[in-house]
Homo-oligomer: A and B are copies of this chain.
């Protein structure tokens, strides 16, 4: 099976997700600065989710590039990842419109955690297919970043009920950690 169509389909879904989030930015009826104020938290959560989806697209890009062929398991693991990513616009809107109220902020973390788990499954399947000696396996290695992300989200979920800004800070930290494209894979693959 060709991986081109899997990439194209994933690109399409992520491109749509990253774009329909902006529909949550409803045009205000007034035209003064006051009208923009309630949009500020919505815009900031939009920026955060835009970066998360950008990171996923980026890492997905590297991962699929390394994959050799697509079987049924990989195909459904990919759809599973896309499912969790598809919930990001909903939780982004809910969190942003409610100024990071505890529950929406925690649920945002739940969706990020599930997406991260789905990504880890997809990565394991592709690594397993290529074998332990393939460049990808060595590039992923112990997957420190992936594990740190899972820990970050898992901590953020209960902490959102203590103080939502701690949770939000953890989300920002994880995003910053990933902002740099996965150079492990990039450098190992070019060996």
Contacts and interface: CB of A to CB of B under 8 A. Distances in A.
Interface of A: 1-2, 5, 7-9, 11-20, 22-25, 27-28, 31-33, 35-36, 47, 50, 54, 57-58, 61-62, 65, 71-72, 75-76, 79, 82-83, 86-87, 89-90, 93-94, 97-98, 101-104, 107, 179-181, 183, 186
Given A31-B104, A32-B103, A50-B86, A75 B20 contact: no
B20 A20 contact: yes
A5 B61 contact: yes
Contacts of A14: 9
Given A54-B76, A76-B54, A94 B28 contact: yes
Given A7-B5, A76-B181, A186-B1, A25 B58 contact: no
Contacts of A33: 103
A22 B90 CA distance: 7
Copy total for this chain = 4
Contacts of A75: 58, 181
A162 to B, nearest CB: 16
Contact of A31 (B71, B89, B103): B103
A90 B58 contact: no
A190 B162 CA distance: 56
Contact of A27 (B18, B79, B93, B180): B93
Contacts of A82: 18
A127 B106 CA distance: 43
Contacts of A36: 103, 107
A179 B77 CA distance: 12
A25 B98 CA distance: 16
